[in-house]
Structure 1
Amino acid sequence: MVKKRLVYIEDDRQIGSWVKEHLTANGYEVDWFTDGSRLAAEPGAVLSGTDAGKPSCDLVILDVMLPGLDGFTLGRRVKENRPDVPVLMLSARTAIEDKLEGLQFADDYLTKPFHPDELSARVEVLLRRFGRMEEEALTLKHLQVFGEAERILHAETGEEIRLTGKQHQIFQMLLRHRNRILTKEQLYEGVWQEPYLDGDKTLMVHIRYLREKIEKDPSSPEIVETIRGIGYRVRA
């Protein structure tokens, strides 16, 4: 089972060491930083793990009071870069105004002091809510698709493939009806929620961009098949 990777920012070394030790003992991989400079400078690299050959981040834990950028600012940047990653705020600030500010973007807010078991429980709840708990993957050629978690991994490289909103909707619709041919009309109307106009190239363009991301050779697709004169199919 692949461990869930947590990115944790806490400048207090005693608290940080204690939290990391507890979460590690509970089966998580924890990247602990004492300030948010790296996350602020390269949020995509830190969260994707590409800067250190690590798996993609599953959850971010942020202290509010940090040197340099505060946790609220960092949290907003995380959500702008990766809205699919849950953010848990930790803070000694208990005022309702601080909690409300944090919950404008964060997914949970835990005040200090806290029991480590409560922290672990909140982490697990957020991972379940965001569909990041372990589930069986659907294998399509070189892809591993986690439908409920809405994650697609390249099985050979471990790289996570990110789709745009429309690309994701098209692929999910094909997956829900895999092994069946969906007409262009069915796909377009299912995704765009409006009538298909004969000759409209919008769907075709999105399919092309989707293939560029998921196919080994987009010019000879093996995952999203074209059924000439009818539509498209994903076979599994």
Structure 2
Amino acid sequence: MTTSRILVVEDSPDARALLVETLQGEGHDVTTAADGLAARRALAPETRPAPDLVVLDLMLPHVDGSLLLAEIRAAGPLPVLVLSAKDAVYTKVDMLRLGADDYVTKPFNLSELTARIEALLRRAAPHASAPTVLVHGPLELDPQTARVHLDGAEVSLTATEYRLLTVLVERPGQVFSRPRLYEAVWEEPFVGDDAAVKTHVSNLRAKLREAARALDPVETVWGLGYRLREL
């Protein structure tokens, strides 16, 4: 088991202690923040070592978790798993559109939580056997740095968006159904809820369209799924 640095941002002392105990028991190096301001300090560029993943409660004192998530997303592809109460105003789609890579609702099942964290860490980790650069026309993906360039401009993606694009670029022109995309990216069986796939693909397409100035590299094949078009 590989040790990863995880930042837990949670204002409830009991929930925070439970998360720390569980994640440390899985072999991870865990730091905590009890409010949004403390989380900002922990995520500041000058703070080292930087976390490999953030577990983020949305309901935080001082700085709202949704604002903090937007700031994390603006800074780079750091994986974020959001914690949200079942009666919160945010829906699952809202959380994904805010930039979360995954989410767990409270009260959470510890086995599910740790499984989702491990899956996120696997997806975010660079693959040593991957080629130096994946190229598809003007689109370039660097697996070692998880950086994406389109027409020479860098495109800032989340870890999940990057993995989605990698799957499509590795098989250009091939149609992927939502269940197949889910299983390739999330590395777990598809259970019938395709909201996560639709939302992450929508976010990915919006960022690529902006970089490509209207051209949409990802094509919808109605009734079948998605594929990467020729560029």
Q: Normalising by the residue count of structure 2, what TM-score does the alignment of the two structures yield?
A: 0.53
**Which whole-Å CA distance do the structure 2 matches of 1:27 and 1:121 have between them?**
13
Report % sequence identity: 34
Aligned length: 143
Quote how far apart the aligned CAs of 1:98 are.
3.0
Question: 2:29 corresponds to which residue?
Answer: 29
Question: 2:161 corresponds to which residue?
Answer: none
Q: State the structure with more CA Rg.
A: 1
Question: 2:16 corresponds to which residue?
Answer: 16
Quote how far apart the aligned CAs of 1:3 are.
2.1
Aligned partner letter, 2:84: S
**Which whole-Å CA distance do the structure 2 matches of 1:101 and 1:33 have between them?**
23
> 3-state SS of the aligned residue for 2:91?
helix
> 3-state SS of the aligned residue for 1:30?
strand
> 3-state SS of the aligned residue for 2:21?
helix
Q: Aligned match of 1:118 in 101, 104, 112?
A: 112
Q: Normalising by the residue count of structure 1, what TM-score does the alignment of the two structures yield?
A: 0.52
1:3-57: CA deviations, max 9, x gaps? 2111110010111001111001101111111112033357433xxxx42x42x32
Q: Aligned match of 1:92 in 85, 95, 99?
A: 85
Q: Aligned match of 1:72 in 62, 66, 69?
A: 66
Question: 1:188 corresponds to which residue?
Answer: none
Quote how far apart the aligned CAs of 1:106 are.
0.7
Alignment check: 8 A CA contact 2:33 2:42 kept: no
CA-based RMSD: 3.2
Question: 1:131 corresponds to which residue?
Answer: 125
**Which whole-Å CA distance do the structure 2 matches of 1:89 and 1:57 have between them?**
15
**Which whole-Å CA distance do the structure 2 matches of 1:68 and 1:149 have between them?**
36
Quote how far apart the aligned CAs of 1:164 are.
8.5
Unaligned runs of 5+ in 2: 132-141, 155-231
Unaligned runs of 5+ in 1: 139-146, 152-162, 169-236
* Greater RCO (CA < 8 Å, at least 6 residues apart): 2
